[in-house]
Structure formats: C-alpha cells, structure tokens
Structure 1
Amino acid sequence: MEEKSKDFLAGRLKDLATKAYHNSFLTHTDFLSVSELASVYRIFASEGVPANVHEYCGSKYVVYGGFEDAERAMVCFLPDYLDEESFLAAENAEPSVLKCIHITPVNNRFSDDLTHRDYLGSLMNLGIERDQIGDILTGEKEAYVFSTPEIGELICKELIRIRHTSVKCTMVNPSECEIRPAFEEISGSVASERTDAIVAFVYHLSRAEAQKLIESESVFIDGRTAYSGGYDLKAGSRVSVSGHGKFIYLGQSGTTRKGRCYVNVKLFV
C-alpha cells in the first residue's frame, strides 16, 4: 500500500485531535511507517508545536507501537481525563488500541527457520493492509505481531501456516513480549553531523565509501532515500544502510578542542 501523503496525514491528524478534544474520547491513527511518523513530526513543527510538547489542537498525544522504540506506531490522541502515564498503564493492563499475537509452530521438530519476511509475507497473503500491522519481532521458533484489534482476531483465526510450518496464534498482553531489537550504544567524534560523516563513523568506512553508498541510493533517513551526504542528521533520526544495518542517531554530547563533535548512536545488531 502506498504511504499516506503529507496533506492526507495533516488532515487526518487534525480531525482525530479535534475529535479527542471536543468529545473527550481516545482517537488514534492506524500504524504509521518510519517515514510517515517523520512526516507527522514535520507537520507538528510546521504548525508551531515544540518538539518537547506532546499536544496538538488542544489534545495530548502519545506515539505508541506496543513497546519502546517500536518502528511502526500509532499516534494516539488522549481525552482530557488521560495523560501519557495513565494511558500506557491502561494499555498495559488491558490493551485496547492494539493487540499482540504470539505465533509459534505447532511442532517445533518439523518447523522451518522462519524470517521476518516469511511472517510478513504470510500476513499479507491474508489480504491484510500494511497499516493494520505494527512491528513483527522474531525470535527462535516464535514471533510477536502487533496489530489493530480487528486484524488481531483475524490473524488468530486465519493464520495456520507459514511456508511449510503449521503455526498456532495466541492473543497475549504486549507486556508478555520479551523479544526486543538488540542494539548497542556507541559514541565518538566526527567532523560534523553530516550524513556521510555519521555513516562513515558508525560502519568504520571512509567518507568516500559512505558517499558512494549515498550516491547509489543505499542510505535511508526516516524511511526516505538520502540523496545528499551533506544533510545534517537530527537527533532521533532513524538511518538504515543497505548491506550494513540500521541505527538511531541520538545527537551531540559536546565538542572537542579542535571543534569536532562528540556524537552518540544506538546501533542495532
């Protein structure tokens, strides 16, 4: 499915936030991709919403994907009787805006080694739209899928086989999912916050090698192709590099005497 346009997103966000504010009930988007979430933040910024103020059109909002650092997430607009802490506590106790499905083989002995692509492909074959599914976290012989409530029920009823493996699906509380993307935090000094400089630092490349990756359209920032190595990364930017991996740029923590930047990165391993 094509990603939502900025104009569509802007209208949808305003409509949901206004409904939450005036009618005092919780509203939310479907699952948004990394690039769509980046567009959401740009929309908020363009309308003068400070980055540290989680309020839009009078309604408080929370970006929620079922766990911290989820790549795909919903923007939830809260009624006046809820704040972020109470919303997260309520979702942890009795999930309402999303569901978590635990997928396991019927027989471990005769199961395939399934990948993220295998799980996603089987879900798409059920006719499910991508914006109805959040992150898919895979482990050894199991996976957890975050979805909208209606789609969660469908998955539990209809998903019985992935490749040659018979599977069973169980609805669980999101807090029961113990799989998380593995990462390590790294820090060091770079000449600047330019994309090519940060990519070279993270993956131990020369600036020329990093630039070649960018020129071959192998670098993506917040889900969008990076066409210039001269773009300065912003704290919170999610960067993926084909053939190398992905990381979240956490920002600067200071400068050296020679004017170089100390930077911090969360590198997924």
Structure 2
Amino acid sequence: MEEKTRDFLAGRVRDLAGRAYMNGFVTHTDFLSVSELAMFYQILAAEGVPSNVHEYCGARYVTYGGIDDAERRMICFLPDYMDEESFLLSENAENSVCKCVHVTPLNNKFADDLNHRDYLGSVMNLGIERDQIGDILAGDKEAFIFATPDIAEMMVKELIRIRHTSVKCQIVNAAECNIEPKFEEISGSVASERIDAILAFVYHLSRSEAQKLIESESVFIDGRTAYSGGYDLKAGSRVSVRGHGKFIYLGTTNTTRKGRLFVTARVFR
C-alpha cells in the first residue's frame, strides 16, 4: 500500500512541477501529512535531488500551510518568474492557495468547550476530505482552520454547528491567527543527542521502545523519516512521532561530571 501511495504521489508531483514549469503559474498538491511530506523527500532522494536544492523537474517548490509552523502542508510549485520570497509575499496578501477560516460561537454564554477533534469531526461530517484541510488551531471559544479556497467558502456557508454550539465562520487573513500551540518545556539528562536517546527521554520510553518506533518509520525529523537511532539531533530540530505527538529539540544546556548531557525540549500538548 505504501509503495502504491508513493508511486501515486511521485506521479502527481511530477505532473504539477511540469505544469508550473511549462505554463507559468503556481500549482500545488492538497494538504499533506508529515508522513506524506517525508515520502516526497524520499522521492527526491531516490531521483538524486540534493536535500538543499528546492527544485524538481525544473520548477522551484516551497511547502506551505498558511502559517510558519504548520504541520500539514501543500507542496507548491512555482513558475520561473517567482521565488519563495515573492510567493510568500503574494500569499500573505491574497491567500490564493490556502485560506484561513475563523470559527466562533454565535453565543459565547452557551458555547461548549470545543477541541481540535470536535472541529475536525464537524468539518468532515460535511463530506470534506482530510486532505482539503490543513492545521486546525483551537483556542478558547474560537478556532482557525486552514483549507483550500473552495473548501473555505463551503465552510462559511455550511458549517453552522459544532456539537451543541451554533457557530459562524468567516474567511480572514492568516496573519489574524493568534492562537499559539500549547507546549511544555522539559529538561533532563541523556547519554547523548542520538534520536533514540532523546525520544526515550521525551516520551518516557526505553531505548528499545524508541528504536522500534524508528524501525517502523514512525519518526520524522524536520519532515524527513528517521531511519537510524544513531542520528544526532541538532538544536531547533522539529520531531514528529506517529501516535505520540511532536516536539522541538532545543539542545544541550550543560554536562554532568559523568559526561551525561542536560537537554531541553519543547513538547506540544
């Protein structure tokens, strides 16, 4: 199944890149999960594209999800007259690729305490596919949902209730999204900065359990699959672990007399 998915994605991005290059306009995938983005990078590696070269089949590309720290992202292929900076400036002004929907209750007094799952479930109950929806940032009595333009328009018209709460939806500029992901900053000592050691520390696992996660290709570092427990994390690395969550590794702060490292990580809740 994974091989079929990879082959489909490879054909899709090759077609989109070719159309951007030949026709001179922006093309893009739907929203991809962390694992699907990792699959895209595997495709690039298999075709000999260096990881530091953001170009495929003659077209520059950028991954984009509406906000800087978006987890679910589109792969956007750019025409030859556009670079990443000009694309982001254009998108920030016009939101033509990805729109942001602000969801608020009609009456705060009678509103339920809604979470990410509530918003996602109500959106998908409209018949919307998951790949048409990007990140959902839920706050106190409000949420911002990133979506493709046509789906955003559909939500404005049809998303009127979440659980027992009547809501209204309005398309806003992504810059208006002021909800920050919740996280906990943790510190502790580890033997090394190897990814298996850091995983064990962050999620209270044994080293063997951490290694099994890596072997099952469930660990992604900056969007790329981690294949070896021996990889040393760099400060600032973003790590996603299927079934566990995600964290940002902040690096070392000190060393014990026995050579163990004090490290810090920001774990998203």
> What TM-score do the two structures reach when normalised by structure 2?
0.83
Give the alignment's Cα RMSD to 1 decimal. Answer: 3.6
Residues in 1 aligned to 2:149 and 2:79: alpha-carbon distance in whole angstroms: 20
Matching residue's letter, 2:219:
I
Residue aligning to 2:22 = 22
Task: Kindly indicate whether the alpha-carbon contact (under 8 Å) linking 1:214 and 1:228 is maintained by their aligned counterparts in 2.
Answer: no
Contact 1:17 1:59 in 2 (8 A): yes
Structure 1 window deviating more from structure 2 (186-195 vs 56-65): it is 186-195
User: Structure 1 pair 263/8, CA: closer, same or farther in 2 (3 Å)?
Assistant: farther
Tell me the residue number matched to 1:37: 37
Q: 1:202 Cα shift? A: 2.5
1:103-128 C-alpha deviation (Å, 9 max, x unpaired): 00000000000010000000010000
Summarize deviations over 1:96-153 as a string: whole Å, max 9, x none: 0111100000000000000100000000100000000000001100000000011011
Q: 2:238, 2:246 within 8 Å by CA — same for their partners in 1?
A: no
CA drift at 1:68: 0.8
Please give the alpha-carbon distance, in whole angstroms, between the structure 2 residues aligned to 1:216 and 1:193: 17
> 1:238 — aligned with what?
239
Pair 1:215–1:87, CA change in 2 (3 A)? closer
Query: Helix, strand or coil: the match of 2:16?
Result: helix
Question: Superposition pairs for residues 3-82 of structure 1, below 5 Å?
Answer: 5-82=5-82
What is the SS of the residue equivalent to 2:166? strand
Could you tell which deviates more after superposition, 92-101 or 255-264? Answer: 255-264
In the alignment, the residues of structure 2 paired with residue 93 and residue 74 of structure 1 have an alpha-carbon distance, to the nearest angstrom, of 18
Counterpart amino acid of 1:157?
A: K
AA matched with 2:220: D
**Alpha-carbon offset, residue 268 of structure 1:** 2.0
CA gap 1:4/1:135 in 2 versus in 1, 3 angstroms: farther
Instruction: State the partner residue of 1:107.
Output: 107
Q: TM-score under structure 1 normalisation?
A: 0.83
Structure 2 unaligned regions, length at least 5: none
* Inter-partner Cα distance in structure 1 for 2:23 and 2:71: 30
Any conservation in 2 of the 1:194–1:229 contact (CA below 8 Å)?
no
Inter-partner Cα distance in structure 1 for 2:230 and 2:126 = 40
| Structure 1 residues 25 and 241: CA distance shift in structure 2, 3 A | closer
Secondary structure of the structure 2 residue equivalent to 1:5:
helix
- 1:222 aligned residue (212, 217, 220): 220
Contact kept, 8 Å, 1:237 with 1:250, in 2: the verdict is no
Q: How many residues align?
A: 263
Following TM superposition, by how much is the alpha carbon of 1:22 offset from its aligned partner in structure 2, in angstroms? 1.2
The alignment-based identity, stated in percent, is 64
- Give the secondary-structure state (helix, strand or coil) at the position aligned to 1:169: strand
| Counterpart code for 2:240 | V
SS in structure 1 of the partner of residue 127 of structure 2: coil
Code of the residue aligned with 1:95 in structure 2: it is N
For the residues of structure 2 that align with 1:258 and 1:57, how far apart are their CA atoms?
Answer: 51
Separation in 1 of the partners of 2:48 and 2:228? 28
**2:51 aligns to what SS in structure 1?**
coil
Aligned residues of 1:10 and 1:43 also touching (Cα < 8 A): yes
Contact 2:200–2:210 (8 Å) recurs in 1: no
Map 1:159-174 to 2 at 5 A: 159-174=159-174
Partner amino acid, structure 2, of 1:191: A
State the Cα deviation string for residues 216-238 of structure 1 (Å, max 9, x = none). 999942399x9998464766553
Mapping of residues 152-191 of structure 1, within 5 Å: 152-183=152-183, 190-191=190-191
CA distance in 1, matches of 2:22, 2:251: 37
